[in-house]
């Protein structure tokens, strides 16, 4: 039986097929965002944080009350149509006070995390790059500072500065908190220090500080971002603890920790006064932690597909 050639079709690589892009080019950040969106828990946590930030900024205006206004005829009211979260023992609207307190708590968390990250990155990066005796001395200083409990530092700063303001609290919390970030960045930098592009920069005559800030720190940016998301809830909890024991934010200012401290003495009779600020602390810390887990997975190049 004769086989006819017209029954067959030649299939192969066309001349121009090698120039065809099979999928669109995706950058590192775009791919990280794509993978982050696949983590539903992290996305929900980000949405909750967005809602909390919106309420912290505009919640007091929505309530129609000023957080410091007192009404003697409306003391210790339960949640109702006029006061959505009730009122405290001085007749102040709890809804307005919760969101006003959130401004200070979140501000301390974000500013504290950024300060400790910047100082820790620079200190750890410089120590790792210089190396030798300088590295040993700088890291021994870090080990000494990190061994000092921050509670003692807060008490000493309050006594020395004769102040319990938000600025004093923030200074006391960040004066040693950067040490953990410095050790972490130091370890990362030691791995990067031996890479070829660092050697090329040295051969081209780049200055030390420029190599650290331009080449070494950016290559640890992903782990730094993740570390910030984990540091923020730590600062928020520390502020809440210090305010709870009377070393934090003082009246007339308020914070979530200060609201919990004020409400704990009347918790049995008016549990809602403690419930709402405590709930905001828990939601914020949980949301930052879950979002940090999602960012860690999304920014890890080893998990890229």
Query: What pLDDT was estimated at residue 303?
Result: 59
Q: State the pLDDT at residue 239.
A: 83
CA distance 172 to 158: 8
| Cα torsion through 202, 207, 208, 210, rounded to 10 | -110
Quick one: average pLDDT of 135-160? Answer: 83
**3-state SS, residue 135:** helix
3-state secondary structure of 278: helix
Given a cut of 60, is residue 18 above it in pLDDT?
A: no
Contact by Cβ (8 Å): 158, 197:
no
Q: Which two tokens stand for residue 169?
A: 């609290």
The yes-or-no verdict on residue 17 having pLDDT over 60 is no
Lowest mean pLDDT among 20-34, 130-144, 208-222, 285-299: 20-34
Residue/partner pairs of 272-277 with CB below 8 Å, 24 or more apart: 272/78, 272/79, 272/85, 272/86, 272/94, 273/76, 273/86, 273/88, 273/94, 276/85, 276/94, 276/95, 276/98, 277/98, 277/101
Please report the pLDDT score of residue 54 as a whole number: 94
Provide the 10 A C-beta neighbour count for residue 199. Answer: 11
User: What pLDDT was estimated at residue 305?
Assistant: 56
- The CATH topology of domain 35-64+85-303 is MetI-like fold (1.10.3720)
Q: Which helix (H) or strand (E) holds 198?
A: helix 196-203
Please, which pLDDT band fits residue 298 given cuts at 50, 70 and 90?
Answer: confident
Instruction: Tell me, yes or no, if the pTM score tops 0.85.
Output: no
Cis peptide before 252 (omega within 30 of 0): yes
Give the per-residue pLDDT at 287. Answer: 92
pLDDT (0 to 100) of residue 56: 92
Asked if residues 284 and 230 have their Cβ atoms less than 8 Å apart, the reply is: no
Pick the more confident residue, 84 or 5.
84
Q: Name the phi and psi angles at 20, rounded to 5.
A: -80, 130
Q: What are the tens digits of pLDDT across the range 91-109?
A: 888 999 999 989 888 988 8
Q: Are 251 and 205 in contact (CB under 8 A)?
A: no
Residue whose pair of structure tokens reads 């790792």 in the numeric block? 128
Q: Is 239 exposed, middle or buried (0-12, 13-18, 19+ CB in 10 A)?
A: buried
Task: Indicate the domain borders of the chain.
Answer: 35-64+85-303
Distance CA 48, CA 63 (A): 20
Phi then psi for residue 87, to 5 deg, are -130, 165
Residue 14 DSSP one-character state:
-
What is the structure's pLDDT at 11? 65
- What pLDDT, in 10s, does the model give residues 32-91? 788 888 889 999 999 999 999 999 999 888 888 888 888 888 888 888 888 899 888 888
Q: Among 20-29, 37-46, 226-235, 245-254, whose mean pLDDT is lowest? A: 20-29
Query: Rg of the chain over CA atoms, in angstroms?
Result: 27
Give the per-residue pLDDT at 36: 86
């Amino acid at each position: 039986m004769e086989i006819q050639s017209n029954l067959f079709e030649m299939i192969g690589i066309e001349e121009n097929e090698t120039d065809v892009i099979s999928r669109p080019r995706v950058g590192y950040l775009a791919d990280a965002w794509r993978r982050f969106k696949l983590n539903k828990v992290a996305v929900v946590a980000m949405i909750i944080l967005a809602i909390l930030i919106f309420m912290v900024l505009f919640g007091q205006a929505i309530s129609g009350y000023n957080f410091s206004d007192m009404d003697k005829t409306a003391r210790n009211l339960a949640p109702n149509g006029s006061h959505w979260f009730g009122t405290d023992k001085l007749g102040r609207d709890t809804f307005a006070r919760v969101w006003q307190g959130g401004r200070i708590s979140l501000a301390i968390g974000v500013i504290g995390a950024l300060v400790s990250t910047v100082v820790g990155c620079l200190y750890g990066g410089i120590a790792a790059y210089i190396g030798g005796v300088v590295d040993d001395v700088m890291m021994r200083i870090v080990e000494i500072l990190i061994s000092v409990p921050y509670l003692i530092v807060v008490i000493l700063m309050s006594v020395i500065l004769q102040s319990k303001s938000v600025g004093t609290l923030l200074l006391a919390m960040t004066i040693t908190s950067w040490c953990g970030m410095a050790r972490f960045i130091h370890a990362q930098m030691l791995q990067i220090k031996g890479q070829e592009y660092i050697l090329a920069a040295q051969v081209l005559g780049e200055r030390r500080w420029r190599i650290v800030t331009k080449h070494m720190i950016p290559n640890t940016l992903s782990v730094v971002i993740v570390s910030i998301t984990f540091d923020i809830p730590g600062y928020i909890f520390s502020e809440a603890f210090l305010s709870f024991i009377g070393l934090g934010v003082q009246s007339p200012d308020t914070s979530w920790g200060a609201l919990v401290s004020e409400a704990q003495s009347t918790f049995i009779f008016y549990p809602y006064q403690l419930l709402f600020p405590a709930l905001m602390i828990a939601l914020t810390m949980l949301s930052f932690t879950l979002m940090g887990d999602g960012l860690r997975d999304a920014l890890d190049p080893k998990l890229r597909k």
